[in-house]
Structure 1
Amino acid sequence: MTTVITFGTFDVLHVGHLRILQRSRALGDRLVVGVSSDALNMSKKNRQAVFSQDERCELVANLRCVDEVFVEESLELKRQYIEKYAADILVMGDDWAGRFDEFNDICRVEYLPRTPSISTTAVIEHISGMAGGNA
């Protein structure tokens, strides 16, 4: 059985998230997803997530392509997470290309292209614009 692991914030879940998770799952038999903790998200993005880590975990866990979800507490713990879940493949978006190549010693590292023209920031900005009557 091939286990794939990936990580992300997955705030304001959108089709880009769904597609990368589906493509990740297609690489193996089991998909494990690390969802950034609220604190990690704040340190990475310098803003609070719209949804709490518990809500984001619940949303991701209920996607058909996802087999297991856990809270990612720190970027520095990636190696331990890969080992704990016995991952054969680490998948990240290509905006992280090269950043996790150090893990090639314990698993295959794949960087998948992001869905063009969609991002959580863009979705939040669009919703904010609609709320302000600019839609």
Structure 2
Amino acid sequence: MSKRVITFGTFDVFHVGHVNILERCASLGHTLIVGVSSDKLNFNKKQRYPIYKENDRLKIVQSMSFVDEVFFEESLEKKREYIEFFKADILAMGDDWKGKFDEFSDICEVVYFPRTPSISTTEIIEIVKSI
């Protein structure tokens, strides 16, 4: 049976850490579905808009050869709906979210991957701002 894997993220200022996590997610199954946080959702979470607009971030993620489907995540509260709608067998996330999505283990397997050391979008943005 082929597994459908779903993951979520902002994917702003796309970097190797994003590639690594998406590759790891893709390795878990046959189909990788990615929810890209909308600009509005990102503002609600972080009180700032992403550097790259949502359509650009979606296009970047969509261009990855191992990504099969991409959609805009409009609300954190709709994770269960997204998992069910896309018939995901596995929810995979970075371990900065460890334990936060265990509630979905009743409908799918939940996997957390370690983040790529020494790289984060927030850190990159701060470095660029200080130059």
TM-score (norm 1): 0.94
**Alignment partners' CA distance in 2, 1:20 and 1:45:** 21
In the TM superposition, residue 101 of structure 1 has moved relative to its aligned partner by 0.5
Structure ID, larger Rg: 1
Structure 2: segments with no counterpart, 5+ residues: none
TM-score (norm 2): 0.96
Aligned length: 130
**Higher mean Cα deviation, 121-130 or 40-49?**
121-130
Q: Is the counterpart of residue 62 in structure 1 residue 63 in structure 2? A: yes
In the TM superposition, residue 57 of structure 1 has moved relative to its aligned partner by 0.3
Structure 1: segments with no counterpart, 5+ residues: 131-135
* SS of equivalent residue, structure 1 residue 59: helix
**Alignment partners' CA distance in 1, 2:45 and 2:22:** 20
User: Runs of at least 4 residues of structure 1 off by over 6 A?
Assistant: none
**Alignment partners' CA distance in 2, 1:24 and 1:89:** 9
RMSD: 0.8
1:10 aligned residue: 11
In the TM superposition, residue 123 of structure 1 has moved relative to its aligned partner by 1.1
1:124 aligned residue: 125
1:111-131: per-residue Cα shift (whole Å, max 9, x none)?
Answer: 11111110001111222233x
**Alignment partners' CA distance in 1, 2:122 and 2:42:** 13
